[in-house]
Amino acid sequence: MRRLALILVPYLWLLALFLVPFVIVLKISLSDLAMSIPPYTPQLDLAAGWEGIKSFFSQLDLENYVWLTEDELYWKAYLSSLQIAVFATFLTLLVGYPMAYGMARAPEEWRPMLLMLVILPFWTSFLIRVYAWMGILAKEGVLNQFLMWLGVISEPLVILNTNIAVYIGIVYTYLPFMILPIYASLDRMDDSLLEAAEDLGCSRFSAFWLVTAPLSKQGVIAGCFLVFIPTIGEFVIPSLLGGSKTLMIGKVLWDEFFSNRDWPVASAVAVVLLLILIIPIILFQRNEQKQREAEG
Amino acid sequence: MRRFSWFNATSLTLGFAFLYVPMIILIVYSFNKSKLVTVWAGFSTKWYGELLSNQAMLDAAWVTLKVAVISSSIATILGTMAAYVMVRSGRFFGRTLFSGMIYAPLVMPEVITGLSLLLLFIGLNVDRGIMTIVLAHTTFSMCYVSVVVSSRLVSFDQSLEEAALDLGCSPFQAFRLVTLPIIAPAVISGWLLAFTLSLDDLVIASFTSGPAATTLPMKIWSSVRLGVSPEINALSTIMIVLVTIGVITASLITKHQAVRQKREERAAERVS
């Protein structure tokens, strides 16, 4: 009896506030817009019994999804989100790997401190960290002033409101997610393997490439997914740092919902976005499983 | 021997400069007299004064704090229950669905979570306000709590619980007297995680709040979208300082505990 209550409370909570809302999204994505306010047609008329259920399902259609394929705004937004996410993940890896490597090689007594320095930004507001870059990257911002003072450039660079600013924002905010799993895998590594490689005639570079890199592969994969998956649906960074040409699907969904008030289309955008995300999520889970098997 | 070369030193220095210079610039400019970020017009604390007299901002901060405390507390209870079910309950009807629902919100884009909850609340004709934000935040943060707590429960020796039951504890007593003290660090860090997630959330709160309730991130959002504003610099500085103090205190406490534990272990060894 107690056990049942223990299971039921969180179960019902998640059903009511996670699964049911998602089913509603799915239903609305198949519905027609009726004067831009709910309820949408068709409506489920349970009083009419089986006939009601049948007519409900026969009236659902894929019109909104067809609309997504017809208007090039949407598939362009999906594509450019994917592109930005892939490239940003790669850049984050480029910045994060040397840092994780340096941390794992740092003297033992420094490591807790370095780890804390990586985690600390994670506890401060995400929004504020993105906002900090607005003042830095602006035309009269700190970065341009600094570069002009150095004499590197004579005209201020236009960085804010371009895709470059979006990349900087993503690398900056998601860097801890990349560093931590890579650091964990490098920290676990057995150093005698490196010594063995060097005794056997490897240069330091080839020892890194042949021993360290393969051993940190799992951490790299985990870090890449941890950056890639949330980046695709990102809304705050492209809105604050990106320009009118930066197209990301999270922003399109937001605008569709709040500005155009076309809820059925917004719902269809959400469903497709989730379908796109399911593939990397499954890959990620499989990778985790493999890692656990390798360890256990 | 691990080698700490100039390469490692450079990458760490550059990396940490990248992470911290933006925040330092934010703090420095919060003391700027001028409204422009570009011109340094001398030291001044006037933006702090303006921030503290901005009633709408203070109200939003209060709403945010209330939402974060309530939602993270409910989320900790529900998340711990969910973790316990996942680790201890073996097979039951719908287990796969249950674990799916625990993990799915972790990877769900916030816009989708927000959108779906808003549609639910509209469908049910619920008035949106603090209550609906609490419900939304509880739902996604309980999943984080349950992941943190279940990793601790997995490594925990179940025979301790069984011993308590053999000695006449009720299952609830065994949980309260044996299990809970052991998993307490995970429960506390789960609560802290849920608390910060709630404080930080903009997207889900924007979808699920009504005209009656504005959270601090929503307030910040509406003022920074128009450009850089020095009042927000002051607010950011206060938040960064508070977080830094909090994290340093917490790490000092854990360090202190670890030292004490080591000392006790050594003492125990000497006795035996």
Query: What was the ipTM of the complex prediction?
Result: 0.85
Rounded Cα–Cα distance for residues B190 and B172 (Å): 21
Yes or no, beta carbons of B81 and A125 under 8 Å apart: no
Nearest to B115 among A121, A270, A277 (CB): A270
- Residue of B3, B84, B119, B225 to mutate for A, most A C-beta atoms under 10 A: B119
Tell me the residues of chain B between 224 and 263 that have a Cβ less than 8 Å away from chain A. 224-225, 227-228, 232-233, 235-236, 239-240, 243-244, 246-247, 251, 255
Domain ranges of chain B: 55-244
Task: Please tell me the distance in Å from B95's CA to the nearest CA on chain A.
Answer: 10
- Pick the residue with more confidence: B19 or A243? B19
Bridge partner list, B43: B32
Mean pLDDT, residues B21-29 taken together: 91
Contacts of B117 in chain A (CB under 8 A): 17, 21
Nearest to A273 among B23, B92, B112 (CB): B112
Query: Which tokens sit at A144?
Result: 């341009």
Residue B227 DSSP class: S
Query: Which tokens sit at B17?
Result: 């400069």
From residue B264, alpha-carbon distances to B184, B185, B260 in Å are 20, 19, 6
CA of residue B83 relative to chain centroid, distance: 18
Residue A36 has pLDDT above 50, yes or no: no
Rounded Cα–Cα distance for residues A21 and A34 (Å): 20
CATH topology of domain B55-244: MetI-like fold (1.10.3720)
Query: Is B220 within 8 Å of chain A by CB?
Result: yes
Query: Which tokens sit at B30?
Result: 């919060």
Yes or no, beta carbons of A3 and B89 under 8 Å apart: yes
pLDDT reported for residue B1: 44
Q: Which of B123, B145, B195, B130 is nearest to A10 (CA)?
A: B145
**What is A72-295's CATH number?**
1.10.3720.10
Average pLDDT, chain B: 88
Bridge partner list, A32: A41
- The string of pLDDT tens digits covering residues B70-129 is 999 999 999 999 998 888 887 888 888 898 898 888 888 889 999 999 989 988 888 899
Yes or no, beta carbons of A232 and B228 under 8 Å apart: no
Amino acid type, A240: L
Amino acid type, B146: S
Least confident piece of the model among A107-116, A258-267, B201-210 = A258-267
